[in-house]
C-alpha cells in the first residue's frame, strides 16, 4: 500500500507505518466517516496473522484496540482495527528526555502509574478470558500512551494462549532485552513471562537502558540516578529474575506491589502539597441553604488533622449552637471540640479577638463555615473561597449565575447530592472552573469520605495553592486586632 492509495474504495492511506514482504501496516482515513483506522496486511505464511485475528476478535477492553473488519486477499489477510491517537512509550520517553536533558528517564511516579495501568490490562488477558492469554512481547514500542495518559496495548503478533501440557516454547520469539529467558527455549511461557516483560519495560523507562545490550541485566540505579526508591528497584528486580519461581507469580501480585508503592508516594505528595495550606484560610459557603457546607467543613478539617495539621474551624452558623451538637462535644477555653475538631463559634470577627487572643498561633489553617452574610467581611482575593452546591432544580440556576461572574470563576466548587455521571456533565460544560465531586454520605459517617477529601486537598494544593502563594496570615492577625493585643 502506498500513500494516497484508496483501499476498497473507502480507506485512503495517509501514512505507511511498516512495510516488509510479510507485513504492511498503514494509517488510513475512512473517506465517508472522516475517521482514522489502522490497516494491517499480513502474509498467510506468517502464522501470526490468524493468531492475532483469532485473539482480538472477541476481546473488549479499553486498553486493547478493537478489530472492526477482516479481509482475505490471496496470500494475505487484512485486518482493520481501531486507531489509537497517541505515541509509543519509546517516543514518549524520547520526547521527555529531549525536553528534560538532565534527566535519565521518566520520573518514578510516571513509571509507577504506567506500570499499574499496564498490569491491569495484562491481568485482564490472564484472568478474564476463557484461558490465559500470554502477550509475550511487552516493550515500550508496543504500548501507546494517549494525551489523557491512558495506556493501550498494540501488536498481538506473538501472543498465545497458555498450554499447560507443553514443557517449553517451540518458537523462539520476542524482543531481546524485553523477552524473558523462557521465550528462548529454557521453559514454557506462562503468566510470569509477562511479569518479566512489564519489569523490563518499566526499567527501560526509568533508565533509558536496554537489557538486550551489555551487561544484559539491570544496573543498580545508584549508578544511574539517585532519585529512584529502593522499593521500586526491588519490585523491578523481582519481576525480572531469570528463575521464574523467584518472580511475582502473577501480574496481580506485581500490581498490588506497585499500588502499595504509589500510595506511599501519594501520602508524601499530599504532605508536601498540604504544606501550602499552612497559614491559609479556606472559606466554605453553601450556594443555597442546606447545601452541605458544614458537613464539608468538618470533613475537610478532620482530614487535615489526620494529615498532621492544626486546623481551626470557625463556625458561623446556628448548626453548631444546637443543644444536641454541644452535648456530643467538649468545650475547652471557648473552643468547642467535636470528634477532636476544634470549633470556634462566632457571630463577628471581634469575638475571635476576645476568645482566642494569641492562641491563634496554635493553628496553621483556618476553615470558616460561612452560610451567612458575615463572610463579606472576611472574603478577599487572598482567601480560598469554596462553594458547596447541592444539585437540585432550584439551586443549579443560582450556581450557574454565580460561576459566570469574574469572581465566581476563580472560586472552588464542591458538587454535592448528584451522581458521578451528572457531575462529569456539569464539569465538562463549565471548563476552567475548579470543582470536585462529593458523594452524599450521612453526617454521622463523615469518616467514610476521608479518601475523597485526601484527593481534593492534594488537587487543590497543586491546582490552586501553588499558584496563589500570597501570604495573608498577617492580614488576618491584623484584621482581628492581634497585632496590638496585650496579654490580659
Q: Is the pTM of this model over 0.75?
A: no
In the prediction, which pLDDT does 280 show? 61
Mean pLDDT in residue range 248-273: 79
Per-residue pLDDT tens digits for 302-360: 877 876 778 888 776 456 666 455 555 666 656 778 778 888 776 554 454 445 544 55
- Asked if pLDDT for residue 193 goes beyond 50, the answer is yes
* DSSP for residue 465: I
- Measured at the CA of 128, the angle between CA 126 and CA 134, to 5 degrees, comes to 20
- Asked if pLDDT for residue 251 goes beyond 90, the answer is yes
Q: Among candidates 377, 393, 430, which has minimal Cα distance to 408? A: 430
Q: Are 420 and 437 in contact (CB under 8 A)?
A: yes
- Cβ partners under 8 Å of residue 90, min gap 6: 140, 141
Per-residue pLDDT tens digits for 197-218: 999 999 999 999 877 778 777 8
Q: How far apart are CA 387 and CA 427, in angstroms?
A: 14
C-alpha grid cell for residue 276? 501550602
Q: Are 134 and 73 in contact (CB under 8 A)?
A: no
Provide the 10 A C-beta neighbour count for residue 86. Answer: 18
Provide the 10 A C-beta neighbour count for residue 279. Answer: 15
Provide the 10 A C-beta neighbour count for residue 437. Answer: 19
Q: How far apart are CA 441 and CA 33, in angstroms?
A: 45
Percent of the chain with pLDDT over 90: 22
Q: Domain coordinates of the chain in residue numbers?
A: 6-82, 87-272, 278-484
Q: Which CATH class is domain 87-272?
A: mainly alpha
- Asked if pLDDT for residue 256 goes beyond 50, the answer is yes
Torsion of CA 97, 100, 104, 105, to 10 degrees: -60
In the prediction, which pLDDT does 394 show? 59
- Asked if pLDDT for residue 5 goes beyond 70, the answer is yes
Per-residue pLDDT tens digits for 434-474: 888 876 654 555 555 555 666 676 666 544 443 333 333 34
3-state secondary structure of 369: strand
Per-residue pLDDT tens digits for 103-124: 999 999 899 999 999 999 999 9
Q: Are 330 and 300 in contact (CB under 8 A)?
A: no
- The confidence band for 154, taking pLDDT boundaries of 50, 70 and 90, is confident
Q: Among candidates 336, 301, 400, 360, which has minimal Cα distance to 480? A: 360
- The confidence band for 290, taking pLDDT boundaries of 50, 70 and 90, is confident
Helix (H) or strand (E) holding 89: helix 89-99
- Asked if pLDDT for residue 235 goes beyond 90, the answer is yes
Per-residue pLDDT tens digits for 18-52: 888 888 899 999 999 889 999 988 887 766 556 66
* Alpha carbon 109 to chain centroid, angstroms: 10
- Judged by average pLDDT, the poorest of 97-106, 133-142, 259-268, 314-323 is 314-323
Look up cell 459557603; give the residue: 285
Per-residue pLDDT tens digits for 97-107: 999 999 999 99
Helix (H) or strand (E) holding 394: helix 393-403
- The confidence band for 361, taking pLDDT boundaries of 50, 70 and 90, is low
Q: Are 111 and 140 in contact (CB under 8 A)?
A: no
Mean pLDDT in residue range 394-398: 69
Q: Are 120 and 152 in contact (CB under 8 A)?
A: no
Q: Which CATH class is domain 278-484?
A: alpha beta
- Asked if pLDDT for residue 391 goes beyond 80, the answer is no
Q: How far apart are CA 280 and CA 338, in angstroms?
A: 22
Strand partners, 367: 282, 313
Percent of the chain with pLDDT over 70: 69
In the prediction, which pLDDT does 51 show? 67
Q: Is the dihedral of CA 168, 171, 172, 173 positive or negative?
A: negative
Q: Which residue has the higher pLDDT, 373 or 7?
A: 7
Q: Which residue has the higher pLDDT, 216 or 127?
A: 127
* Alpha carbon 362 to chain centroid, angstroms: 35
Give whole-number Cα distances, 440 to 161, 279, 414, 416, 448, in Å. Answer: 45, 30, 11, 6, 10
* DSSP for residue 434: E
Mean pLDDT in residue range 419-431: 79
Topology of domain 6-82, CATH: Phosphorylase Kinase; domain 1 (3.30.200)
Provide the 10 A C-beta neighbour count for residue 287. Answer: 23
Give whole-number Cα distances, 282 to 52, 334, 375, 383, in Å. Answer: 55, 21, 11, 6
- Judged by average pLDDT, the poorest of 98-112, 271-285, 368-382 is 368-382
Q: Are 242 and 181 in contact (CB under 8 A)?
A: yes
Amino acid at each position: 500500500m502506498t500513500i494516497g492509495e484508496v483501499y476498497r474504495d473507502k480507506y485512503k492511506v495517509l501514512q505507511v507505518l511498516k512495510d516488509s514482504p510479510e507485513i504492511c501496516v498503514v494509517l488510513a482515513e475512512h473517506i465517508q466517516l472522516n475517521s482514522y483506522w489502522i490497516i494491517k496486511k499480513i502474509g498467510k505464511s506468517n502464522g501470526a496473522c490468524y493468531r492475532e485475528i483469532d485473539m482480538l476478535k472477541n476481546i473488549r477492553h479499553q486498553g486493547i484496540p478493537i478489530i472492526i473488519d477482516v479481509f482475505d486477499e490471496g496470500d494475505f489477510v487484512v485486518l482493520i482495527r481501531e486507531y489509537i491517537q497517541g505515541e509509543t512509550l519509546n517516543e514518549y520517553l524520547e520526547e521527555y528526555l529531549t525536553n528534560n536533558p538532565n534527566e535519565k528517564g521518566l520520573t518514578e511516579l510516571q513509571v509507577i502509574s504506567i506500570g499499574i495501568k499496564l498490569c491491569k490490562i495484562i491481568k485482564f488477558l490472564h484472568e478474564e478470558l476463557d484461558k490465559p492469554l500470554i502477550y509475550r512481547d511487552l516493550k515500550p514500542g508496543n504500548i501507546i500512551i494517549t494525551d489523557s495518559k491512558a495506556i493501550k496495548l498494540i501488536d498481538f503478533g506473538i501472543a498465545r494462549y497458555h498450554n499447560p501440557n507443553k514443557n517449553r516454547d517451540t518458537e523462539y520469539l520476542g524482543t531481546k532485552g524485553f523477552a524473558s529467558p523462557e521465550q528462548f527455549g529454557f521453559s514454557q511461557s506462562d503468566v510470569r513471562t509477562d511479569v518479566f516483560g512489564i519489569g523490563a519495560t518499566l526499567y527501560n523507562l526509568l533508565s533509558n537502558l536496554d537489557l538486550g545490550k551489555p551487561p544484559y541485566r539491570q544496573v543498580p540505579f545508584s549508578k544511574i540516578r539517585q532519585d529512584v526508591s529502593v522499593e521500586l528497584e526491588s519490585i523491578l528486580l523481582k519481576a525480572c529474575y531469570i528463575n521464574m519461581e523467584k518472580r511475582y507469580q502473577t501480574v496481580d501480585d506485581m500490581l498490588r506491589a506497585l499500588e502499595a508503592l504509589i500510595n506511599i508516594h501519594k501520602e508524601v505528595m499530599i504532605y508536601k502539597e498540604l504544606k501550602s495550606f499552612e497559614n491559609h484560610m479556606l472559606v466554605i459557603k453553601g450556594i443555597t441553604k442546606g447545601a452541605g457546607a458544614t458537613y464539608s467543613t468538618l470533613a475537610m478539617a478532620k482530614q487535615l488533622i489526620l494529615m498532621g495539621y492544626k486546623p481551626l474551624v470557625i463556625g458561623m452558623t446556628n448548626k453548631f449552637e444546637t443543644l444536641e451538637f454541644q452535648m456530643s462535644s467538649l468545650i475547652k477555653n471557648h473552643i468547642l471540640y467535636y470528634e477532636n475538631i476544634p470549633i470556634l463559634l462566632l457571630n463577628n470577627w471581634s469575638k475571635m479577638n476576645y476568645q482566642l487572643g494569641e492562641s491563634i498561633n496554635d493553628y496553621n489553617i483556618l476553615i470558616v463555615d460561612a452560610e451567612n452574610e458575615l463572610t463579606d467581611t472576611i472574603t478577599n482575593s487572598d482567601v480560598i473561597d469554596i462553594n458547596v452546591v447541592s444539585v437540585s432544580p432550584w439551586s443549579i440556576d443560582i450556581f450557574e449565575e454565580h460561576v459566570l461572574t469574574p469572581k465566581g470563576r476563580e472560586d472552588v466548587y464542591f458538587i454535592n447530592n448528584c451522581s458521578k455521571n451528572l457531575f462529569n456533565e456539569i464539569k465538562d460544560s463549565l471548563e476552567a472552573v475548579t470543582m470536585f465531586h462529593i458523594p452524599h454520605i450521612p453526617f454521622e459517617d463523615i469518616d467514610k469520605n476521608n479518601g475523597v477529601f485526601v484527593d481534593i486537598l492534594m488537587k487543590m494544593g497543586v491546582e490552586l495553592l501553588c499558584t496563589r502563594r500570597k501570604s495573608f496570615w498577617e492580614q488576618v492577625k491584623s484584621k482581628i486586632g492581634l497585632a496590638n493585643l496585650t496579654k490580659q
